[in-house]
Amino acid sequence: MVIESKLRMSETQERTLPASKQRALFLDRDGVINEEVNYLVQWEHVRFVEGIFELCRTARGLGYRLIVVTNQAGIARGFYTEDDFHTLMEWMRGEFEREGCALDAVYYCPTHPEHGVGAYKRESIDRKPGPGMLLRGAAEFGVDLAASVFVGDRCTDVAAGNAAGVGKMFLLRGVEEAACEGDYEAVSSLDEVRRHLVLGE
């Protein structure tokens, strides 16, 4: 599933990086954009992770697309609806716009292979550790995955990023107690990711 922003990069910015060289900053949502809240559905409970807007403004200024990829098992389990999710994301996207770093797209997977209810109980390549959402974002925005960055906080994010061929994978410390399999760099803050973007230019 995808929610695309009506706000797109300017034609000048798009000409700066040809489609074959377009980069993206992929972001997990819970634990990376907002502090982890079990089955978040109300905007009043949103607490943005320190440094998220600074990171996104920097990435936007460097020509990166901003794309969210999020598993939403709460929908699968029947804790909230897709409409509830869309309402919350519209509010969150408004906050990003006000901060000067509008999101290009939000991809989400509402299914769960074990705990899903009804039609939501099924396997999906979109559900991380599957790479589906990353691959769709790359295809729809002409993104060069090898030149892109993904920030997550779980081993499933690492697995998805590696499977999709994302060039640089960051794992935000705090959730996983043991090391994840795969290729990634563990960081303690989003500012470390922001510095990587700047120094990598």
pLDDT digits (tens, 9 = 90+) for 50-73: 999 999 999 999 999 999 999 999
pLDDT bracket for residue 12 (50, 70, 90)? very low
pLDDT given for residue 201 in this prediction = 57
Query: Using CA atoms, how far apart are residues 14 and 175, in angstroms rounded to an integer?
Result: 36
How far apart CA 76 and CA 162 sit, in angstroms, is 25
- Name the phi and psi angles at 19, rounded to 5: -55, -40
Residue 20 reports pLDDT greater than 70: no
**Is 28 one of the annotated active-site residues of the chain?**
yes
pLDDT mean over 16-33: 82
| Arithmetic mean of pLDDT, 93-98 | 97
**What pLDDT shows up at residue 145?**
98
Nearest-angstrom CA–CA distance, 174 and 180: 13
Question: How large is the angle between the packed helices 155-164 and 132-141, nearest 10 degrees?
Answer: 50
Instruction: Tell me the CATH number for domain 2-199.
Output: 3.40.50.1000
The answer to whether 30 is a known catalytic residue is yes
How many Å apart are CA 1 and CA 106, to the nearest integer? 8
Residue tagged active-site, from 30, 104, 153, 157: 30
Cβ contact 104:5 at 8 Å: yes
Write the DSSP string, 85-137.
HHHHHHHHHHHHHHTT---SEEEEE---TTT--GGG-S--TTSTTS-HHHHHH
Domain locations in the chain?
2-199
Residues 6 or more apart whose CB falls under 8 angstroms from that of 3 comprise 86, 89, 93, 105, 106, 108
pLDDT of residue 142: 97
28, 126, 153, 157: the catalytic one is 28
pLDDT of residue 40: 85
127-132: Cβ within 8 A, 24+ apart: 127/71, 128/28, 128/69, 128/71, 128/152, 128/154, 128/156, 128/157, 128/159, 128/160, 129/155, 129/156, 129/157, 129/158, 129/159, 129/160, 129/163, 130/160, 130/163, 131/160, 131/161, 131/163, 131/164
pLDDT for residue 13: 36
